[in-house]
Amino acid sequence: MLMLLKLLKDGRFHSGEALGAALGISRSAVWKQLQHLEAEMNLPIHKVRGRGYQLAAPLVFLNAEDISLEAGSPAWPVHIYDSVDSTNAEALRLVESGCVPPFVVLAEQQTAGRGRRGRKWVSPYAQNLYYSLVLRIEGGLRQLEGLSLVVGLAVMRALRESGVQGAALKWPNDVLVGSKKISGILLELVGDPGDICHVVLGIGINVNMQKAVEVDQQWTSMQLETGTSIDRNHLVARLGGQLQVYLDRHKATGFAGLQEEWEQHHLWQARPVSLIAGTNRIEGVVLGVDRQGALRLNVDGVEKIYSGGELSLRLRDDS
């Protein structure tokens, strides 16, 4: 199927006869592969009698050389896969096998992409960005404080550089455009966080996706926001540059040095919210975040601090 996809990637019409000749298979076999492409990779294909078959939009595949050229400076080593269960899981396997950080894992498709709190991350083939950066962390917990928020700042800046001017932040690790999610961040640790550990910075960005019936929340994509198809290789280079800048700042100052900037771009600053922790629901107004990246809420006139991976923040219905 991948050979067929590479023949179709230019977005032009190709006859079934020509495709069959190029692949050494019958026209009926071409038809079956096209059916699989649509079903398994969520790629819409136009079928026009007399003209043949055409992808609904051209595809540009991820390419390490293009990413390096676009970055314009020494970049992190990049491992690119056609399909993995999740880039975070593959990154952890590479660490276990002795691969030395820092390095980046990218995939055209995830078969078991994960978001926070066990949610599925919908990952259609060659449409979005599935990105994991592995870092070795030395020096203890300070290097981890507010790290997911720092990554959010880098993602937001890369999106704005790419034309998505409305990109902004939602605590703790989402990037939104208005009320619609465009990116999510999932950090995973292995090792001793008090001494030496590895952290995987997992980033999912909706890039050229235009339809996704499986997504159970409001969402948008870079293409929907800008009206143009985005080259994901350019985006990877921009994201890498922004991550380098913000990770260096975080290493030098801790999250405290980025706290004010993060709050300036928090969409829900001063908004009434519900904070959900398991079966508990806490009503309050967002005051901001503290020097470690924890959420500050005004709860019945009292400032309270909340942090933890299992918390979910939602706007109140009356806000």
* CATH top class, domain 268-315: mainly beta
Domain boundaries, the chain: 2-55, 64-263, 268-315
Task: State yes or no: 87 annotated in a binding site.
Answer: yes
To the question of whether residue 220 is assigned a binding role by annotation, the answer is: no
Kind and range of the H or E element at 185? Answer: strand 180-191
pLDDT at 74: 66
Mean pLDDT calculated for residue range 263-286: 94
Topology of the domain covering 2-55: Arc Repressor Mutant, subunit A (1.10.10)
Between CA 112 and CA 184 the distance in angstroms is 15
Confidence of residue 72 (pLDDT cuts 50, 70, 90): confident
pLDDT of the residue at 9: 86
CATH number corresponding to 64-263: 3.30.930.10
Distance of CA 216 to the CA centre of its chain: 17
What percent of the chain stands above pLDDT 90?
68
Q: Which two tokens stand for residue 272?
A: 């009434």
Q: Provide Rg for the chain, Cα atoms.
A: 21
pLDDT in tens, 32-71: 888 888 877 777 789 898 899 998 878 899 999 999 988 8
Q: How far apart are CA 91 and CA 101, in angstroms?
A: 10
Q: Please tell me the predicted confidence (pLDDT) of residue 319.
A: 44
DSSP β-ladder status, 78-84 and 103-110:
parallel
- Give the whole-number percent of the chain exceeding pLDDT 70: 94
181 is an annotated ligand-binding site residue = yes
Question: Comparing 2-55 with 268-315, is the CATH topology the same?
Answer: no
User: End-to-end CA distance of the chain, in Å?
Assistant: 49
**pLDDT range class, residue 183, cuts 50, 70, 90:** very high
**In Å, how far are 61, 71, 286, 302 from 268, measured between CA atoms?**
36, 33, 7, 19
Say what the pLDDT of residue 129 is. Answer: 97
The tens digit of pLDDT for each residue in 106-165 reads: 999 998 876 655 566 677 889 999 999 999 998 767 788 999 999 999 999 999 999 999
Burial of 77 from C-beta contacts in 10 A (0-12 / 13-18 / 19+): middle
The verdict on whether residue 114 carries a ligand-binding annotation is yes
Four-residue CA torsion sign, 221, 227, 230, 234? negative
pLDDT of residue 44: 78
Q: Residue 169's pLDDT is what?
A: 98
Mean pLDDT of 26-37: 89
More confident residue, 89 or 216: 89
**DSSP secondary structure code for residue 257 in this structure:** G
- Write out the catalytic residue numbers: 116, 181, 314
Q: Determine contact, residues 262/169, Cβ cutoff 8 Å.
A: yes
